Amino acid sequence: MGNLILVRHAITAASASGRNLGRRTDPPLIAEGLELAQRLGETIARELEELPHGSLRLLSSPALRCRQTADAIAPAIGLAVEAIEVHEGLIEIDYGAWDGLTAEECRERDPELRAAWEDDPYATRCPGGESGGDVARRAFGVLEPLEAWLAAERSRCAVVVAHNHVNRLRLCALFGWPMREYRERVSQDPGGYSLVGFGAGAPVIRRVNAAPA
């Protein structure tokens, strides 16, 4: 059984303030986030000590906040920064006109659309942006082949650094829950990580949103 460690990037100013941060803006990690990323790398290294990992890959969204998080993880797990595989499909949701707004500001701006989105974010698109389903189609195009690669060999491991919506969507799908409920069912804190095993049978979910030590 190969293993996937699915990570949300560390803290940015937007994630610290509760504002939407999608694919339209690309801020760096704040100082607290850089420190968290270092601790995350050390924690993942300890996880890997307990897992067979003859083959190890590190993938990242192209967003700066993810690449900075991956840059901190790479040396901790014995990989060069140049070995990080950057995939456009792992980028965060496009919030459209809601980018940079709080949830309350979105409700004030577009009350009916926001209510529909909160009821079913998988099917409902943000104004001028994406739905959860749009994100899933492109992100799963990266994650599903990776999971098949992991399932083929017990000594394979991969670390993926992505985003809030990307990770919640994938975990919801792996749990077999209704996709419209992905925002209600799964939480992803900055720097949180999940550990999932892939083999011949159903995925084995060992950790969800674990915090770095």
CA–CA distance, 77 with 42 (Å, rounded to integer) = 8
Contacts of residue 143, defined as CB under 8 A and 6 or more positions apart, other chains included, come to: 160, 170
| CATH classification of the domain holding 100 | 3.40.50.1240
Q: What are phi and psi of 26, to 5 degrees?
A: -135, 65
Q: Is 9 a catalytic residue?
A: yes
For residues 20 and 106, the answer to whether their CB atoms sit within 8 Å is yes
The mean per-residue pLDDT over the stretch 166-190 comes to 97
The DSSP result for 86-121, as a single string, is: E-GGGPPP--GGGTT--HHHHHHH-HHHHHHHHH-T
* pLDDT tens digits, 90-113: 999 999 999 999 999 999 999 999
With a cut of 90, say whether residue 17 has pLDDT above it.
no
Q: Which of 47, 92, 130, 147 is catalytic?
A: 92
The gap between the terminal CA atoms of the chain, to the nearest Å, is 25
**What 3 state SS string does 77-95 have?**
CCCCHHHCEECHHHCCCCC
For residues 98 and 126, the answer to whether their CB atoms sit within 8 Å is yes
- The DSSP 8-state label assigned to residue 63 in this structure reads S
Q: Is 53 a catalytic residue?
A: no
Q: Which of 9, 87, 163, 165 is catalytic?
A: 9
For residues 91 and 23, the answer to whether their CB atoms sit within 8 Å is yes
Asked whether the whole model's pTM tops 0.95, one would answer yes
More confident: 115 or 1: 115
Number of structural domains found in the chain? 1
Looking at every residue in the chain, the average pLDDT score rounds to 97
In 68-189, which ranges are E strands?
85-86, 156-162
Q: Cα–chain-centroid distance for residue 26?
A: 15
Domain range holding 138?
2-210
CA–CA distance, 33 with 28 (Å, rounded to integer) = 9
For residues 165 and 135, the answer to whether their CB atoms sit within 8 Å is yes
For residues 161 and 69, the answer to whether their CB atoms sit within 8 Å is yes
**pLDDT tier at 14 (50, 70, 90 boundaries)?**
confident
